[in-house]
Amino acid sequence: MTGYTVADLQEIDARCREIASADLGFDVPEVIYHLVRPEEVYFAAANGLPARYSSARWGAQFDAEYGRYQRGESRIYELIFNTSPVHAYLMEGNSLVAQTLVIAHCLGHGWVFEHNRWLGAVDRAIMPRVLAAAERIADYMSAHGRERVEDFLDACHAIAIHQPQAQLIRPAPTPEPDVREGPYDALFPDEVEAAKRRAEAERRELRRRFPREPEQDLLGFIERHARGLEDWQRDVMSIVHAEQGYFLPQLRTKLLNEGAAVLCHQEIVQRLFLPADRYWEYEALNSGVVAPHQGRVNPYNLGIAIMREIIRIATEPDDEERERWAWAGEVEPFEQVRTVLRTYDDEALLREFLTPKVCEECRLFAFEHLPRDPRRIRVSSREADAVREILIPQHSTFGIPRVEIVDADFRGRGELLLAHRHDGIGLDAEYACGTLAQVAALWGKPCTVETVKGREADTPTWFMGHPDGRAEELGERPS
Amino acid sequence: MAVVGDSGLPHDAGRRDALHHRERLRRKITEQLKERIGEEDIVAAGPDKRIRVPVKGTKRWQFILDRGKGGGVGQGEGEPGDVLGPPGDGERGSEAGTEPGEEIYEVWLDMEDVEEMLFAELELPRLRPRASADAEATNTIYDDIARKGPQLDKKATLRENLLRNAKMGHPALGGIEKPDLRYLSYRELPKPRHKAIIFLAMDVSGSMDAGRKRIARLFFYWCVQFLRRRYDQTELVFIAHTTEAREVTEHEFFNRMESGGTRVSSAFEAVLEIQHDRYPAEDWNIYVLHVSDGDNFAADNRRTIELVRRLTQFCSLVGYLEVDPRAGAGRHKLSAHYQKEIADLEGFVFAAAAEDRALWPALKRFFAKDRVEEIVR
C-alpha cells in the first residue's frame, strides 16, 4: 500500500458521509469497499458484475481494456455495483487523495442506487443468483464442452438486450373487431350479416395469431417457445436474459448517475479543506475526470454540467426560468437535485435540462459523417435544438433498434418473423445477417426480419438467417 | 462502512477468460491460415520470420442501425462546416451492448506459431512402434493451474495463501483454507518416437508447367515443414522422376526441373530399391507421397498400379496427389485409372489439387488425424 492503511480509508469514508448527510442531504446506505489489484478491477469491469459466469466475451474485453491500462492509456479508479449492500472496488496503489475522491464519488452513486426509481427497480439481491448461475454454467461447460457453451452464449448475448425497456408503460392490446348494432340494421339484413361474418373471421384470425401482440422480449420469447432446446440451453438463456435485465436501468441512467457522483465528490472534497498540495492533486484528478472528450460526449462532463444547471436555476434563475419552473429560485438547491435524481432517467433529464446554456458550457455540437470517409466528421450545428434532436433519442433507445417478434409461425412453418420498428433508418445489412444466423440457431428454424434499406425509408427489405449459419438479404417478402 | 482487503473473486478468473478468448482467436486464425497456405508471403517468410494475419469473423453480432452515414453529438471546438478527425478513438469503455462491438485484429505471428497451429491437426497415419523405437508414447505436460483437480500445486497454493493473508494484514504463511488450494492441470501429448521414412516423389517432366510445379512444390514444402517439426525420428528421401527416376538432394528436388516424358512406375521402382537396401520394413514405418500431373504413358499405367499394390503391402501410406489446374481432368489421367482399379485399396490415398486452396484439404487427407485410431486398432 502507498502510505495509508485500511483505517485511514475508513476515516475518510466516515468524514465524507458526515458532509454528504449534513450539507447535501445524501444519507448514503452502507458501501462495502474492496481494495483490489488493478487486474481484478479490470476483470470485474469487463464482466459487469463480480464473479459472473466465465466467458471468452469478458476475456476479450478484459484483454483490450487491461492492455490499455498497462500501456498507460486508461485508468479505472473505481468500480461500483448496484447491489444491496453496495460493493465498490478501489484500486490498490492509488494515492490517498485519489482514494478520497473515489470514496466521495461512490457515495453519490450509492445514494442514487438506493433512491432512483429506475435503479431501485432491479433485483439488488442478484449476487447469490449470479454466483449460482456461474457454477451452473461451469458445470455445463464441463459436461457439454466449453466451446459449445461459448457458442451458445454468443448467440444469446447477440439479442439479450432486446427486452422491454420501460415496464411502466404497457401498450394496449389490439382490440378485437366487432360489429356494433345500429338502429337501421333491420333495413339491411344481408349487409349486417356479411359484416358480422367478416368480423368473426378477423377475430378468429387475431386469436390464433402467435404471439398475440408483438413481442419485444426476443430472448425471453425464444426461451419459452423454442422447440428442440436442451434443458441446459434453456437455463443458459434464462441466465443471460436475467442478468441483461439487471443492466438495462443502468444504461438509461448513466448521465444522471455520473452527474450525481461527480457533484457529490466535488462538493464533499471542497468541504474537506485539504492542505494545498493535496488539494492541487485532487484538482488535477477531478479535471481529468470531467474534461470534455474531443469529438465525443463525456458523460461525466455533461452529467455534472446538468447538475450545476439545476442548482443554478434553483438559486439564480432568470425571468424566463421562473416562468417555466415553479421551484426556480424558491427551493433549496440540493433538495431539487435530490428530487430529480429520485425520479428521472437520462431521457427526461436531457429533455428538461439540456438547455442552451448547458450546450454552450459543454461545447456540444451536432455532426455528420463525411460520406466518403465515415471516420471523419463535419460539424453541422452548434444550436441547442440540433444537439437535442440527436442526443435525446440516443438516450431514450441507447441506439438499440427496436426489433419485435410479430409471427412465430411464419409461412406456416414455425419460422420466426421479426419486424424492425424503424424511424427512417434500416438495419445494417452485415450485422442483420450475422445476428439472424444466431437467432435462427437458437430458434432452430429460419428467422426473417423486415426492415428498410439503409436510409430509404420507403424501400422495405428482408433478411433471413438459417440455423446452419447462412444468411441472406431478400428483395421481396418471403412467401 | 467497511473496507475489506479481498474482492472475494477467484484471482485467476480474469486470466482464465482472457486465455480462453485468445484460444478462440487462435482457432479462428488457424481456420484462415488454412486458406492461405499457398500465399507467397507465408511460404517466403521462412522459418524464423513473422507474418501479419488479419483476423476476420470475430464480430460481436447484434442488430444495429445502418452505419456510417448518420450523425451524432460531440464535444469540443469547431465551427459549423469544420471537418474533424475520427469521432472518438475506437471502442472506449463502451457500455454493454450500446455500440457495435466489432473486434478487428491484425496479428503478427511467428512462422513457428503458424506451423504449430496448422500442424496440430495433422498426423502421420498408422505410425506403429518399430523395433528400435521407445516404448513410451505420450508426454504429460503440466502447464496450467486450476482450482479443482487431482494433483495439488503446492507452490501456487502457498502463494495464494500468502497473498490472501497479506491482504488481511498478516503477510505470512499459515491457515491454508479451501480458497487457497490450487491444482496442476495437465495435457497428454503424443510422443512420436517411432522411426519413419518418407519417400517424396515428384514428377519433374516437361508436362509439369509453371502452375503445376508451383502447387507440387508448395505441397512438398508443407509436408517437409510438418514432418521436420513434428517428428524428430523421421528421414526423408527425395526422388525426382521423368521416364527415369533418381534420388536427389532436397535442394535439387525443390529447384530443378527437367523435360521429357512421364513414367510413374520408375519412381516406385526407385522407392522399392532404396527401401530394400536401406530401410527394412520391420524397423521403419514407410510412407510414399507422389505428386504428378497424371499424364502418364498409357502403357505404364498397369505396371504403376501393380507397384502401388505391392507398396501398400508394407507401407503405412501410399499417397498420390494429382496437380492439374484444369478442372475435371479427364479419363486418361492416372487418377482415373487409380479410381477404376484400386480406389478401395487399403493404405492408398489419392487426392487432386487444382489450386492453392485445395492444398490444405489435400494435406488433411494424407495426414488425417482421426483415421489413426481406426487403423491402428
Look at residue B33 in the predicted model and tell me its pLDDT.
76
Tell me, yes or no, whether A21 lies in a domain. Answer: yes
Contact (CB<8Å) B75/A301: yes
pLDDT score of A337 more than 50: yes
Tell me, yes or no, whether A378 lies in a domain. Answer: yes
pLDDT score of B110 more than 80: no
Q: Least CB-CB distance to B95: which of A39, A254, A380?
A: A254
Contact (CB<8Å) A6/B169: yes
Q: How confident is the model at residue B100 (pLDDT cuts 50, 70, 90)?
A: very low
**CB proximity under 8 Å: A 320-379 to B:** 362-371, 374-379
DSSP letter assigned to residue B300 = G
Contacts of B125 (CB under 8 A, 6+ apart): B316, B317, B366, B367, B368, B371, B372, B375
pLDDT score of A335 more than 80: yes
More confident position, A64 or A379: A379
Which of B22, B62, B168 has the most A C-beta neighbours within 10 Å, making it the best mutation to test the interface with A?
B62
What is the tens place of the pLDDT at every residue in A162-180? 998 665 566 778 888 888 8
Q: Does A253 touch chain B (CB under 8 A)?
A: no
A432 with A336, same domain: the answer is: no
A233 with A137, same domain: the answer is: yes
Tell me, yes or no, whether A281 lies in a domain. Answer: yes
Average pLDDT, whole number, for chain A? 90
A317 with A356, same domain: the answer is: yes
- Of A396, A419, A440, the position where a domain reaches its end is A396
A307 with A241, same domain: the answer is: no
Tell me, yes or no, whether A179 lies in a domain. Answer: no
A111 with A20, same domain: the answer is: yes
Contacts of B304 (CB under 8 A, 6+ apart): B264, B265, B268, B296, B334, B337
Q: Least CB-CB distance to B76: which of A294, A366, A427?
A: A294
Q: At what angle do helices A96-115 and A6-19 cross, to 10 degrees?
A: 50
Query: CA–CA distance from A380 to each of A232, A370, B83, B84 (Å)?
Result: 51, 11, 9, 11
**CB proximity under 8 Å: A 53-72 to B:** 54-60, 62-66
Contact (CB<8Å) A399/B99: yes
Q: How confident is the model at residue B86 (pLDDT cuts 50, 70, 90)?
A: low
Look at residue A445 in the predicted model and tell me its pLDDT.
96
In whole angstroms, what is the distance from residue B6 CA to residue A87 CA? Answer: 12
Tell me, yes or no, whether A181 lies in a domain. Answer: no
Tell me, yes or no, whether A240 lies in a domain. Answer: yes
Tell me, yes or no, whether A190 lies in a domain. Answer: no
- Count of CB atoms situated within 10 Å of the CB of A377: 25
ipTM above 0.85, yes or no: yes
Domain that holds residue A147: 127-170+216-251
Q: How confident is the model at residue A236 (pLDDT cuts 50, 70, 90)?
A: very high
A389 with A420, same domain: the answer is: no
Q: At what angle do helices A96-115 and A254-270 cross, to 10 degrees?
A: 130
Torsion of CA B367, B370, B375, B377, to 10 degrees: 140
Q: Least CB-CB distance to B7: which of A36, A244, A381?
A: A36
Per the structure, the count of domains in chain A is 4
A71 with A102, same domain: the answer is: yes
Contact (CB<8Å) B4/A32: yes
**CB proximity under 8 Å: A 443-472 to B:** 449, 454-455
Q: How confident is the model at residue B271 (pLDDT cuts 50, 70, 90)?
A: very high
Q: What residues in A contact B81, CB-CB < 8 Å?
A: 378-379
Tell me, yes or no, whether A195 lies in a domain. Answer: no
What is the tens place of the pLDDT at every residue in B192-246? 556 889 999 999 988 888 888 888 988 998 899 888 888 877 899 999 999 899 9
In whole angstroms, what is the distance from residue B120 CA to residue B29 CA? Answer: 13
In whole angstroms, what is the distance from residue B339 CA to residue B362 CA? Answer: 16
The number of residues in chain A equals 479
Q: Least CB-CB distance to B72: which of A147, A150, A367?
A: A367
A145 with A227, same domain: the answer is: yes
pLDDT score of A85 more than 70: yes
In whole angstroms, what is the distance from residue B100 CA to residue A399 CA? Answer: 10
| Residue contacts between A and B (CB atoms, under 8 Å) | 274
In angstroms, the separation between the Cα of residue B76 and the nearest Cα of chain A is 5
A442 with A372, same domain: the answer is: no
A239 with A229, same domain: the answer is: yes
Q: What residues in B contact A379, CB-CB < 8 Å?
A: 74, 78-84
**CB proximity under 8 Å: B 95-124 to A:** 95-100, 103
A15 with A82, same domain: the answer is: yes
The lowest-confidence range among A35-49, A143-157, B211-225, B357-371 is B357-371
Q: How confident is the model at residue A258 (pLDDT cuts 50, 70, 90)?
A: very high
Contact (CB<8Å) B62/A431: yes
Look at residue B1 in the predicted model and tell me its pLDDT.
41
The number of residues in chain B equals 377
Q: How confident is the model at residue B134 (pLDDT cuts 50, 70, 90)?
A: very low
In whole angstroms, what is the distance from residue A389 CA to residue A367 CA? Answer: 12
Look at residue A64 in the predicted model and tell me its pLDDT.
79
A43 to chain B: nearest residue by CA?
Answer: B14
A280 with A319, same domain: the answer is: no
Q: How many Cα atoms within 13 Å fall on the side-chain side of residue B114?
A: 25
pTM greater than 0.80 (yes/no): no
